Structure 1
Amino acid sequence: MSKLIYLVACTVDRFIARKDGSFDFFLMEGEHVADLLSNFPETIPGHLRGTLGITADNQHFDTVLMGRRTYEVGVKEGITNPYPHMKQHLFSRTFQQSPDPAVELVSSDPVTFVQELKQQPSKNIWLCGGGDLATVLFPAIDEMILKVHPFLLGSGIPLFSGIIPLTSLELTDSKIYENGFMLLHYRVNHFGSYSSPI
């Protein structure tokens, strides 16, 4: 059974982008970049893979899920097929049809769709954003991998844009780089709860 993994870049105060969707403040240089390219080559959009010399096969994911606002970041640059090396699913109730035949438009219940997707033989499923979709899909998220950049944004699009229940996370792996970047792996314990404050 596949896992749904929310792998996303964020600031220390857990914003994944400015309110307008831009994220040009994230660190694009440093030793963490080589690690990310090596460990998660499939998360690099198709139009950048040649420039970055990425030829590696998909390591963790063969399916990517996107919310409308996340997808439209690429559309504004003329990119309608951002991850041609993966199965792409766009969740939106405002699009009447997919802007690209390689991207499947999903307007049905997201959680039900993902639970069915998990049953199919494949690698894991990458939830790349955004905060609205992550909130809706929270019950189906198995793991979170946060690429934490050493910035405070103050406001913007949060990791989860809506209300989610208090949930315990198990830190399964972590790495802190000299430039302050942190890569944090968590297992989501949906059955974990707190009976009293400590």
Structure 2
Amino acid sequence: MRELVYYVAVTLDGFIAGPGGEFDAFLVEGDHMDGINARFADTIPTVAAEALGIEQRNDVFDTVLMGWNTYQVGGLPSPYRHLRQIVFSRAHTAEAENLEVTADDPVEVVRRLKQEDGGAIWLCGGGALAATLADEIDRLVLKRQPLLFGSGIPLFGERPYRPERFDAVETTAYESGVVFSEFERRREN
């Protein structure tokens, strides 16, 4: 079965963007970028990867999920055209290469996707969508940035208090101060 992986940059105080969706303070230069480019090349927007000469083989992810605000951030009609892109919105539509905008229930969509053949499913953002899909997330890959935002869009939007355990898989600290931490959901036997 395919995994849903929430792979996202997050501040030390738990925000994935500023109050207005700002993300330009996140570090995009430094030794951590080699880790992103080597292991998670599929998460680089297609245009940027082409400009940098980075090959995208879809060997980790072949599908990306995002809410409308996350989709709008880059201003590109098909930001990850090398992947199957599913954008959740009840109010908007868009047409572009490998892009599907749907008003369907995200949980039902993810459950269907998990039954299909293919690679992992990347939950790109945002926080409200992550909260909706929290029970479906199999793996977290957090790029903790050495930043405090003070306020903004939380890693997980509002959800009821219900502790859930994830086990640490791997942590890599970079001189830039960015720390990649990977966790997998603890499955009760």
Give the TM-score normalised by the residue count of structure 1.
Answer: 0.90
Structure 2 partner of 1:161: 157
Equivalent in the alignment of 1:149: 145
Partner of 2:34: 34
SS state at 1:186 partner: strand
Contact kept, 8 Å, 1:142 with 1:187, in 2: the verdict is yes
SS at match of 2:163: coil
Could you tell which deviates more after superposition, 39-48 or 54-63?
Answer: 54-63
Alpha-carbon distance between aligned partners in 2 of 1:74 and 1:30, rounded to the nearest angstrom:
21
Pick aligned residue for 1:109 from 73, 85, 105 = 105
Offset, 1:152? 0.9
Return the index of the structure with the highest Cα Rg: 1
Confirm whether residue 186 of structure 1 aligns to residue 183 of structure 2: yes
Instruction: Give how far 1:178 is off.
Output: 1.9
Structure-2 residue corresponding to 1:54: 54
1:135-193 residue CA offsets vs partner (Å, 9 max, x unmatched): 1111111010000010111101110111142111100111111221100000123659x
Q: 1:41–1:120: structure 2 CA closer, same or farther, 3 Å change rule?
A: same
C-alpha separation in 2, matches of 1:139 and 1:191: 13
AA partner of residue 180 (structure 1) = G
Q: Which amino acid aligns with 2:83?
A: M
Shift of 1:33: 0.4
**2:65 aligned with 1:69:** no
Question: What RMSD over aligned residues (CA atoms) do the two structures have, in Å?
Answer: 1.5
1:170 maps to what in 2? 167
Aligned AA for 2:6? Y
Kindly report structure 1 stretches of 4+ aligned residues shifted beyond 4 Å: none
- Runs of 5+ in structure 2 lacking a partner? none
- 2:108 counterpart letter in structure 1: T
Q: Which runs of 5+ in 1 are unaligned?
A: 193-198
**Match of residue 4 from structure 1:** 4
- Cα deviation for residue 55 of structure 1 reads 1.6
- Percent of aligned pairs with the same residue? 41
CA distance in 2, matches of 1:49, 1:177: 22
- Which deviations, in whole Å up to 9, do the C-alpha atoms of 1:69-96 show, x marking residues without a partner? 1011123xxx11001111010001111x
Contact 2:83-2:98 at 8 Å conserved across structures: no
TM-score, normalised by the number of residues in structure 2: 0.94
Native 8 Å contact 1:167 1:190 kept in 2: no
The alignment covers a number of residue pairs equal to 188
